[in-house]
Amino acid sequence: MAETVAVVTGASAGIGLETALGLARAGMRVVMTGRNPARTESARRLVVERSGNAEVATALADFASLAEVRRLAAELLAACPRIDVLVNNAGLIAPRRERSAEGYELTFAVNHLAPFLLTNLLLDRLKASAPARIVTVASEAHRGARIDPALVAHPQDWSTYKAYGRSKLCNILFTRELAARLAGSGVVAACLHPGVVATELGSRGGGLVGLGWRLAKSFMLSPEKGAETSIFLATVPDPAPFHGAYVIRKKVAQPAPAARDDALARRLWEESARLVGL
């Protein structure tokens, strides 16, 4: 995999950092994206040190801004003549209702709209690099979630859990429609549940959410274990069986019925494209 280039978003800590480390150990050239310059550079140095792979770079963007996502995509296209693997890992659990730079509900904007836009902006490069892969980190938190594509950017009912669950349902529906659009292109798209992982994601949830997360962390998976399925999908010799799939513990799993609704997936794609200006 010496010539393989992988982009991992949200790679400055947690699952993203461990994913970048695993791909660097596999011999890939890795671009780690993050929001904080010092933290992202520190993560890069750690990956180089632990992997022995010096071909690790960084790129910065705040996924709460679609303009930042567009700038990141332009930077990646300028720096990477090929992109073989895109791991959409960046995400958040918002402790309070907030809006993105464009005025959309923040969890939906960061967890769905940002990777939707970034993937589409890099899609031609991924196709030109085929065989290539797009791996998106979803979650079992999607179960029980419901979305109306026309309202999901400005939901009337909001809670930390509802917003996160909706965004993860969007990740799976996005992968489902993306896989259909990529048929025959040589690019495989899959999504996954990493497990309940002891990262800082939930700790930032605030209030009872953050407290519960901190109390439960000792019973959760390590970020290293949480990255295993992302690394597996990025490196498995034959990814074809996972095209369009939702994967848990490196095996195809059945998501909730709402996540298997092809008409809903198409409507979400169309509304997302409108929201991001594609």
User: What is the separation of C-alpha 49 from the centre of its chain, rounded to a whole number of angstroms?
Assistant: 25
State how far the Cα of 169 lies from the Cα of 151, in Å rounded to an integer. Answer: 14
Please choose, from the candidates 189, 2, 236, the residue with its C-alpha nearest in 3D space to the C-alpha of residue 86: 189
State how far the Cα of 87 lies from the Cα of 224, in Å rounded to an integer. Answer: 15
SS3 246: strand
CA separation, residue 265 to residues 31, 147, 192, 199, 268 (Å): 29, 10, 17, 29, 5
161 noted as active-site residue: no
As beta bridge partners, residue 251 has: 248
Q: Is 114 exposed, middle or buried (0-12, 13-18, 19+ CB in 10 A)?
A: buried
Contact 135, 85 (CB under 8 A): yes
Contact 15, 44 (CB under 8 A): no
Of the listed 104, 161, 164, 246, which one is catalytic? 164
Say which amino acid occupies 162.
Answer: K
**Active site (catalytic) residues:** 164
